[in-house]
Amino acid sequence: MTLRTYVIRRLIVIVPTFFFISALVFTIIHLAPGDPSRILIGEKGRVPQEILNYYRAKLGLDQPVVVQYFLWLGSFLQGDLGYSFVNMRPVIGLIGERVRYTLELMLIAEVISVAIAVVLGVIAAVKHYSIIDAIASTGALVGYSTPNFWMALMAIMLFAVQLRWLPASGTRTLGITFASPIDALFDHLKHLVLPVSVLVLLWTAYLLRMVRSSMLEVLGQDYITTARAKGLKERIVIYKHALRNALLPVITYEGYSVGYLFAGESVIEYIFSWPGLGQFMVDMAVLRDYPTLMGLGMIIAIMVLLANLSADVAYAIADPRIRYE
């Protein structure tokens, strides 16, 4: 099978999965006994039935759920995610404004944590049972045993409240006009430090454990002994022969954990008032903004499915045997 047919076959499988996901999320959202029009009106207690009916008809909630789903699906296929109940604006625009903040945070944290994890993981595996290995492994244990939001709270308490080194929320200092774009950029970077550091500490912990154990497994294999017996330099054995194979499970893990990483990042966004998709999702879930929640769910589903696919493709390129399975 060529790589192209492999990718096409995988893409075809994605389509039905995507429809199932949209139906599932739609069902969960509309399962609720309550009524978002009541939340929209904002009145507690008795609201005249005519007013509720008017709102329900306006939002399209008076129709059966199945009809609502197919109406939603119809406009979705035309690229229309509908209007937000709460903001009275197209959902696609609302998401578009926020997606770059989420991507910024995730990409920066991801690149840094992969770099740290690979370097430390390789050292820990090569110098098995050394002090560096012990420190790296303990650090990883602490990292993945710490609740993400608690680590964020501790970071805020220490660096923002006690030491006053770094800002604790938002993307820029409010109420200040910056002398130059460089100052503005610097201010933005200062706001990035805490959320990025918390994410890096958490994500590195998982990756580090994985790189270390995968590297240890590869280093014990016969072809490594052969490479050493041939008289190759240790550097080449480790970085060219071992690392390439050791990184294969890491690639899969990265591709398949995008959804999980996003969920963790949402909590961090919420705590640091970072105006990305995660914080938005929490706010809209409280207000029961059905179209926005659907839109967010679909964007995330597409993101995850594409990440899964690219992980498989990357794996297929790195290890051609996989395509023939």
Q: Which stretch binds other proteins (CB under 8 A): 4-12, 67-75, 149-157, 196-204?
A: 149-157
Cα 302 to the center of its chain, rounded Å = 12
Query: Smallest distance from the beta carbon of 258 to other proteins, in angstroms?
Result: 9
Question: Are the CB atoms for 140 and 209 separated by under 8 Å?
Answer: yes
Interface with other proteins, residue 293, by CB under 8 A:
yes
Residues in region 194-253 near other proteins by CB under 8 A: 249, 252-253
Residue among 34 and 64 whose Cβ is closer to other proteins: 34
Which residue is it, tokens 């051609």?
Answer: 320
Interface with other proteins, residue 306, by CB under 8 A:
no
Question: Are the CB atoms for 262 and 300 separated by under 8 Å?
Answer: yes
Interface with other proteins, residue 21, by CB under 8 A:
yes
Interface with other proteins, residue 153, by CB under 8 A:
yes
> Could you give the 3-state DSSP secondary structure of residue 312?
helix
Q: With contacts defined by CB under 8 A, how many residues of the chain interact with other proteins?
A: 50
Residue among 201 and 304 whose Cβ is closer to other proteins: 304
How far apart, in Å, do the first and last CA atoms of the chain sit? Answer: 10
Interface with other proteins, residue 147, by CB under 8 A:
yes
Cα–Cα distance, 228 to 106 (Å, whole number): 39
> Could you give the 3-state DSSP secondary structure of residue 83?
strand
Cα–Cα distance, 190 to 165 (Å, whole number): 9
Q: Say how many C-beta atoms besides its own lie within 10 A of residue 103's C-beta.
A: 13
Residue among 90 and 249 whose Cβ is closer to other proteins: 249
Give the per-residue contact string, 157-196, with other proteins (x = CB under 8 A; - = no).
Answer: x---x-----------------------------------
Beta bridge partners, 83, equal: 90
Residue closest to 309 by CA, chosen among 252, 230, 269: 252
Query: Could you tell me which residues come within 8 angstroms of residue 119 by beta carbon, excluding any fewer than 6 positions away?
Result: none
Query: Smallest distance from the beta carbon of 170 to other proteins, in angstroms?
Result: 16
Q: Which stretch binds other proteins (CB under 8 A): 50-58, 172-180, 221-229, 279-287?
A: 279-287
Cα 314 to the center of its chain, rounded Å = 19
Where on the chain is the footprint of other proteins (CB under 8 A)?
16-17, 20-21, 24-25, 28-29, 31-34, 141-142, 144-150, 153-154, 156-157, 161, 249, 252-253, 256, 259-260, 262-264, 266-267, 270, 281-282, 285-286, 288, 293, 297, 300-301, 304-305, 308
